[in-house]
């Protein structure tokens, strides 16, 4: 295992260098956009009737979305910086793992320098801060809880794997789910001006999407994460314990919707609407732990999350149409 100072670029298997623009896009993981529809979930909760939607709300949510893109890009770029420095990315994307595309880690592949990555990470963080400040200043509503949430969200996002290194202190899984929930609630608070239990349930379910492909990634990354002391659940428990943990998360996703429908936080039909996601989670779990194909199971998490997002938006539109009628 290479040390922090010894970790260097791995260039084997790369046919030709990429353009800088492409490498920066990879550093920011712009092809993984699954946190960004959080704003669409929030918008759908206030959209109907359209005639009552203030123009300022559209501007605010557009600024919030752009800010979210920049903040998350900064978060994952700084995560790559830390992973490069401590050698975990070199281990997880090294020549012994043919299933991982090394070009997705520009520092490991040698297509970007450490200085370029740091400038990019902090530059996008600054842009995100400015855009979120603009979103708050233009918002039709600014409840205190929402403003505090947005500030905290920015601070902890850039500390995910850099600075305080939240993900290196046993909070990675909580953070991944919490980020999705906070994005939904932050956007909703600025647009609606009040708290909603139903939207909170939707935010938690939205956060489960990234969580339930993140934990499969962690299962694949156990050797590299253990080597640098990154205490994911997958690293801390036995293989059977990890399988039970991921199974429990998959079941919890269903139970959250079921309980919300049962107690009246969500409409009675909400749990039925979300059943296709449960079916996809069963398939994902069996692929990972019955068939033993963890990386394919991770990949199945993306369509499951996207189906969930569409269904959450559909639920809001049904509720909104009923209220408008």
pLDDT tens-digit profile of 19-71?
899 999 999 999 889 999 999 999 999 998 888 899 999 999 999 999 999 99
Find how far residue 299's CA is from the centre of its chain.
Answer: 14
pLDDT for res 94: 62
151-184 burial: b if 16+ Cβ within 10 Å, else e: eebbebbbbbbbeebbbbeebbbebbbbbbbbbb
| Residue 300 CB contacts under 8 Å (≥ 6 apart), including other chains | 280, 283, 284, 287
The single residue listed with the structure tokens 């084997």 is 12
Whether residue 96 has pLDDT greater than 80: no
Residue 170 Cα distances to 155, 162, 290, angstroms: 18, 14, 27
Find how far residue 294's CA is from the centre of its chain.
Answer: 19
What is the number of helices (H) and of strands (E) in the chain? Answer: 15, 0
Provide the pLDDT confidence category of residue 167 given band limits of 50, 70 and 90.
Answer: confident
pLDDT tens-digit profile of 212-266?
999 999 999 888 888 888 899 999 999 999 999 999 999 999 999 999 999 999 9
pLDDT for res 95: 57
pLDDT for res 99: 45
Higher pLDDT, 294 or 103: 294
Classify 239 as helix, strand or coil: helix
pLDDT for res 229: 83
**Rounded to whole angstroms, how far apart are CA atoms 212 and 249?**
8
pLDDT for res 150: 98
**pTM of the entire structure?**
0.90
Among 154, 267, 140, residue whose Cα is nearest residue 194: 140
pLDDT for res 4: 36
Whether residue 62 is preceded by a cis peptide bond, meaning omega within 30 degrees of 0, is no
pLDDT for res 17: 64
pLDDT for res 168: 86
Among 74, 78, 82, 85, residue whose Cα is nearest residue 30: 74
Token code pair at residue 18: 């990429």
Residue 243 Cα distances to 27, 157, 174, 298, angstroms: 30, 28, 17, 13
């Amino acid at each position: 295992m290479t040390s922090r100072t010894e970790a260097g670029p791995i260039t084997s298997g790369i046919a030709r260098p990429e353009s800088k623009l492409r490498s920066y896009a990879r550093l920011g993981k712009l092809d993984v956009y699954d946190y960004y529809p959080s704003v669409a979930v929030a918008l759908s909760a206030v959209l109907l009737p359209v005639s009552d939607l203030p123009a300022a709300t559209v501007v605010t949510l557009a600024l919030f979305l752009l800010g979210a893109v920049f903040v998350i890009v900064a978060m994952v770029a700084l995560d790559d910086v830390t992973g490069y420095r401590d050698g975990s990315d070199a281990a997880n994307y090294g020549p012994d793992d043919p299933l991982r595309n090394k070009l997705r880690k520009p520092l490991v592949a040698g297509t970007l320098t450490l200085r370029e990555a740091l400038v990019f990470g902090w530059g996008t963080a600054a842009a995100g801060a400015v855009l979120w400040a603009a979103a708050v200043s233009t918002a039709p509503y600014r409840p205190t809880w929402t403003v505090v949430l947005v500030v905290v969200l920015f601070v902890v996002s850039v500390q995910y794997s850099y600075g305080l290194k939240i993900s290196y202190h046993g909070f990675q899984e909580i953070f991944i789910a919490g980020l999705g929930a906070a994005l939904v609630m932050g956007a909703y608070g600025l647009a609606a001006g009040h708290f909603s239990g139903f939207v909170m349930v939707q935010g938690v379910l939205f956060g489960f999407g990234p969580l339930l492909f993140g934990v499969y990634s962690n299962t694949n990354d156990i050797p590299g994460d253990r080597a640098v002391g990154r205490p994911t659940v997958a690293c801390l428990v036995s293989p059977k314990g990890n399988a039970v943990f991921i199974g429990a998360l998959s079941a919890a996703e269903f139970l959250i919707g079921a309980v919300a429908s049962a107690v009246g936080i969500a409409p009675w039909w909400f749990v039925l609407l979300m059943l296709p996601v449960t079916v996809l989670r069963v398939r994902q779990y069996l692929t990972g732990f019955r068939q033993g194909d963890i990386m394919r199971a991770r990949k199945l998490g993306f369509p499951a999350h996207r189906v969930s997002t569409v269904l959450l938006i559909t639920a809001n539109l049904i509720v909104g149409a009923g209220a408008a009628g």
